[in-house]
């Protein structure tokens, strides 16, 4: 069963940067299109970035600020987040980009506030 561990979140001021990491069990990262999701209380979980062997995709609100990458050899995925805004405040999760597995990690909290 796949397992995810997200890390790297924190409290930052607007305009600052964070790099999130996702550790995945097994070799799932290299097989599937993977993504970073975020969720705020009272709202549905939102896919903000995805990556496969050919391309990366981003939701409009993070284009030009976030960069998704992965290291298949280490079973790791990353989300570099620059120029953070208060609207980026959320818990961030990693999972398969299409038909995510029911198993979610604990997520990592990102708070952007002055």
pLDDT digits (tens, 9 = 90+) for 15-33: 999 999 999 988 888 889 9
Residue 57 confidence (pLDDT) above 90: yes
Residue 5 confidence (pLDDT) above 90: yes
Residue 77, phi then psi, degrees to nearest 5? -130, 150
What does the pLDDT average to over 63-82?
Answer: 96
Instruction: Answer yes or no: are the C-beta atoms of 33 and 98 closer than 8 Å.
Output: yes
**What three-state secondary structure class fits 60?**
helix
Location of structure tokens 């997200």: 6
pLDDT value of position 14: 98
Residue 60 confidence (pLDDT) above 90: yes
pLDDT value of position 30: 83
DSSP-H helix ranges across the chain = 28-31
């Amino acid at each position: 069963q796949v397992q995810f561990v997200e890390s790297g979140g924190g409290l930052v001021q607007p305009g600052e940067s964070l790099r999130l990491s996702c550790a995945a069990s097994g070799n799932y990262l290299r097989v599937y299109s993977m993504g970073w999701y975020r969720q705020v209380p009272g709202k549905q979980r939102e896919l903000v970035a995805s990556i496969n062997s050919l391309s990366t995709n981003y939701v409009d609100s993070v284009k030009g600020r976030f960069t998704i990458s992965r290291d298949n050899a280490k079973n790791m995925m990353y989300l570099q987040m620059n120029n953070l805004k208060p609207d980026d405040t959320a818990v961030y999760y990693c999972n398969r980009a299409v038909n995510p597995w029911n198993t979610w990690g604990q997520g990592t909290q990102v708070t952007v506030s002055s």
